[in-house]
Chains A and B, each alone.
Chain A
């Protein structure tokens, strides 16, 4: 399963508030650093498994899959993330 951002959504730095945000028509979501990292890895090529593995390696931890999937599912419910098989 390959997650990617919908074309209408844009990941961007919010300098004034010191965070990343996801901008979309008539709305925005403020992101914590982890959320931003996950979305930066949603490039339409990496699978969910690849993303999990990348972040687990980066931080030397395991068991991130559930949280990452829940985060992406939340954005998919808003139509901001799409899944390709």
Chain B
């Protein structure tokens, strides 16, 4: 018996009013693969099957999940099942009434992104004027008694605002702020040259985080997601392939993480064709990188393999062209030079492409 999943990320739709250039959604989110969204009944079945399989934490994400008119119903179903529900939202046009309705349906926690510490930068990065709605929604969540996480994806263009972001989260009375350095998948990989931070930026931001953690203690949890390209060893991605997490995409494909769909050498199954427990236990894609029998050197004989699980399979595929090799971030990887080259390229920042349906369709057509 494999370990059972604890986490399900339900990507309810890939539609989104924001256009963040670091979006982790697939480049071809607007293409045919993700077109036919799961119905309310189908999602309800997925949640039931997930709970029976051992899932306890449910992330309701997207795209922008509040675009689903049945969100309240889905939250209600998840709540009845005893799942701990988190809404992961941009808060664009998210009013107090909608939030109150979600609270009544049993929503447990709200995570709202912000792209910068002030309206000017936040709106520029988001590509959509949304800062004002976000600040209003932060206040509503507090008034309604939701625990609140402020999420900021960090990159070259906003790392200088880390202190202001923490102060903003503190002033809003948030429980947590996630300072998530950009991980290079999806649109972020496409825009890597524009987003790549410098070593000096990261060092300065990290100093701020350490100082603010000491000042704030338990009053505000500051989560710092490591910028893995700048690390010596890979991240223990998802706690290991198909060990604790799964993602269900808007059209029902099931992935071991929200980036795995890009691995074109794997076949991913769909909840329309198979029960979730079968996909978790028996599908080829979920079993492919379980355990350590798949590992090549330098992972196979490495004492770190029980800690980092060989790093990230998606990164191995996207950077080294083979999902079955050591994460190229690892200093011991024969592909590390590809990461170093990307870091060097980042010294000359490029323009980014906003995440939007026309760009997505153009990229999908290019393959």
Contact = CB atoms under 8 A, between A and B. Distances in A.
A16 interface: yes
Contact of A25 (B54, B56, B149, B218): B149
Interface stretch (A4-12, A40-48, A54-62): A4-12
B280 to A, nearest CB: 12
The size class of the interface chain B forms with chain A is: 20 to 34
A23 B56 contact: yes
A16 B276 CA distance: 15
B178 to A, nearest CB: 8
A65 B269 CA distance: 52
Interface in B184-225: 218, 221
Which of A8, A13, A24, A25 has most B Cβ within 10 Å? A25
Interface in A60-85: 76-79
Given A25-B86, A25-B175, A16 B52 contact: yes
Interface string B73-85: 0000000001010
B321 interface: no
B176 interface: yes
B190 to A, nearest CB: 27
The size class of the interface chain A forms with chain B is: 10 to 19
Given A8-B147, A12-B82, A79-B221, A28 B57 contact: yes
Which of B52, B147, B149, B175 has most A Cβ within 10 Å? B147
Nearest to B52: A16
Contacts of B84: 10, 12, 23-24, 28
Nearest to B223: A26
A21 interface: yes
A73 to B, nearest CB: 12
B175 A8 contact: yes
Contacts of B318: none
B4 interface: yes
Contact of B53 (A16, A21, A25): A16
Interface in A17-43: 17, 21, 23-28
B145 interface: yes
A26 B175 contact: no
B147 A14 contact: no
A17 B1 CA distance: 13
A12 to B, nearest CB: 6
27 contacts: A7-B147, A8-B108, A8-B147, A10-B84, A12-B82, A12-B84, A13-B82, A14-B56, A16-B4, A16-B54, A17-B4, A24-B147, A25-B109, A25-B111, A25-B147, A25-B149, A25-B175, A26-B86, A26-B109, A26-B149, A27-B57, A28-B6, A28-B84, A77-B218, A78-B218, A79-B175, A79-B221
3 nearest A-B residue pairs (beta carbon): A8-B147, A16-B54, A23-B84
Interface of B: 4, 6, 52-54, 56-57, 82, 84, 86, 108-109, 111, 145, 147, 149, 175-176, 218, 221
